[in-house]
Structure 1
Amino acid sequence: MSIGAGVLLFVIGAILRFALTVQVAWIDLLLVGNILMGAGIVVFVLGLIFTFRRRRSVSSRRTVIGHEDGGSTVRRTSHTDDTGL
């Protein structure tokens, strides 16, 4: 969602900066467009960073069945991925 919000902010800022020829006395639309484009880039980059950042944890459990010579070992390893997919 933050990637889309960043793109939206950038597009609105670009429209205000480059497409509008209206001048309003109480606000500078060129400055507002520049600010929105900058904020859109920041939000987009942060969205990419949070999307591609992966935190993984590995847990393993070892179970020994039997005695010294005749025992067998069972290993179980599980990976958890915190990306929400």
Structure 2
Amino acid sequence: MGIGLGIVLLVIGLVFALGAIDLPASIDDVVASETLGWILVAVGVLAIVLALVMNAQRARTTHVVDDRRPPPQV
């Protein structure tokens, strides 16, 4: 999951949580759209935080190269 997926989940969750769209009654009886929205918001924030933490760890990694070539011959 990257930052983009986290932002998409966050936006979809806010749309459901704040009631920006009205779902049909047949779907609204089965799924509580407000609860689903807040769950998607939490998952979106978690995805963004995890992506940022993983990216920060990747940036701090150092690589050591051990070069064992024989000395040049004169």
- TM-score, structure 2 as length reference: 0.72
Q: Deviations over 1:19-78 (max 9, x none)?
A: 134461111000000000000000011111111213212234477669xxxxxxxxxxxx
For 2:38 and 2:64, locate their aligned partners in 1 and report how far apart those are by CA, in whole Å: 45
- Aligned pair 1:26/2:27, yes or no? no
Gaps spanning 5+ residues in structure 2: where? none
Gaps of 5+ in 1: 67-85
User: Percent same amino acid at aligned positions?
Assistant: 29
SS in 2 for 1:57: coil
Measured in 2, the distance between the counterparts of 1:48 and 1:61 equals 34
* Structure with larger Rg: 1
Q: Which amino acid is the alignment partner of residue 64 of structure 2?
A: V
Q: TM-score, normalised by structure 1?
A: 0.64
Corresponding letter in the other structure for 2:56: F
CA root-mean-square deviation: 2.2
Greater RCO, 1 or 2 (C-alpha within 8 Å, sep 6+): 2
Number of equivalences = 66
In terms of fraction of residues, the more strand-rich structure is 1
Q: Indicate yes or no: 2:9 matched with 1:9.
A: yes
Equivalent residue letter for 2:17: R
